[in-house]
Amino acid sequence: MTKAPRKSRKKFRRLEVINKTGDLSTVFAIFLFFSRHNTELSLISLPLNTKNMGKIIALANQKGGVGKTTTTINLAASLATLEKKVLVVDADPQANASSGLGVDIKQAECTIYECIVEQADVREAIHDTEIDTLKVISSHINLVGAEIEMLNLKNREKILKEVLAPLKEEFDYILIDCSPSLGLITINALTAADSVIIPVQAEYFALEGISKLLNTIKIIKSKLNPALEIEGFLLTMYDSRLRQANQIYDEVKRHFQELVFNTVIQRNVKLSEAPSYGLPTILYDADSTGAKNHMALAKELISRNN
């Protein structure tokens, strides 16, 4: 019998080695190549097999006033309108995401604080909203002191992950609204999350804190949550009439390329008015620019995860 050419056998072996990671081998090879030449890409994780499991997304930026809460409320409402089961976890002591979705904070007997510090049943902290498929776990001002109370707890960085674990199969998306800090509660949120959306205000100072946040994500990824990925950078409070806003968009897009959402959230008065009525903008004024922007963002997020 004639032996097979040695050259083809070598090729097969080489492919076999590459394919040890499964059918994502080509993506993995490309990822490794580019990650060695781009430190920002090293923060990205490969897609995980999360069939029948909800995705936990933290919205984080230690810079205040960049639109984290507004985005959380309206992205969640838009996803719910698209027939997704959504849970908002308000991890900010200001509790604006809770009140913005119609929760009476003063009447809430069980909040995320009780779940983290007192090991209360997380299902007792879930509140209904005006949208059937949208739920919220409210926050409380007591969360300010939770970080001190958590210092002596075992695995204190993973407490929120354990709290939310039973809910992953019940919701398609769990959105965590983080406080404007990089404290222990935010670290808990990033440790619990599968990915993080980083809202970036279309102003110069908003860019300064990104490097610190990326460094924190990198540390959490290496020490606490290897599966954490950057879902995307979201430009908020965008005004196309301002030259600086366009320059910042170009700068963010140049640095982070495909990680930047195509959707931008434009400045819109309805986004500011809706929370005072305890409603997401899509229920307050569905025809407003703010409602349309967040619906476009929801569709883009779903498309990215399909």
Each residue's pLDDT tens digit, 64-94: 888 899 999 999 999 999 999 999 999 999 9
Question: Is residue 112 a part of any domain in this protein?
Answer: yes
User: Does residue 56 have a pLDDT over 90?
Assistant: yes
When pLDDT is averaged across residues 264-271 and rounded to a whole number, the result is 93
Question: Is residue 9 a part of any domain in this protein?
Answer: no
Question: Is residue 270 a part of any domain in this protein?
Answer: yes
More confident call, 19 vs 132: 132
Mean pLDDT, rounded, of the chain: 83
pLDDT per residue as tens digits for the range 101-117: 999 988 888 999 999 99
Question: Is residue 107 a part of any domain in this protein?
Answer: yes
HEC readout, the chain: CCCCCHHHHHHHHHHHHHHHHCCCHHHHHHHHHHHHHCCCHHHCCCCCCCCCCCEEEEECCCCCCCCHHHHHHHHHHHHHHCCCCEEEEEECCCCHHHHHCCCCHHHCCCCHHHHHHCCCCHHHHEEECCCCCEEEECCCHHHHHHHHHHCCCCCHHHHHHHHHHHHCCCCCEEEEEECCCCCHHHHHHHHHCCEEEEEEECCHHHHCCHHHHHHHHHHHHHHCCCCCEEEEEEEECECCCCHHHHHHHHHHHHHHHHHECCCCCECCHHHHHHHHHCCCHHHHCCCCHHHHHHHHHHHHHHHHCC
Question: Is residue 179 a part of any domain in this protein?
Answer: yes
**Model pLDDT, residue 76:** 97
The CATH number given to whatever domain includes residue 133 is 3.40.50.300
Q: What's the structural domain count of the chain?
A: 1
Paired strand residues for 86: 134, 173
What range does the domain containing 72 cover?
Answer: 58-304
User: Does residue 203 have a pLDDT over 50?
Assistant: yes
User: Does residue 244 have a pLDDT over 90?
Assistant: no
Question: Is residue 41 a part of any domain in this protein?
Answer: no
State pTM to two decimals: 0.81
Burial class (CB in 10 A: 0-12, 13-18, 19+), 38: middle
When pLDDT is averaged across residues 136-163 and rounded to a whole number, the result is 90
Question: Is residue 52 a part of any domain in this protein?
Answer: no
Question: Is residue 3 a part of any domain in this protein?
Answer: no
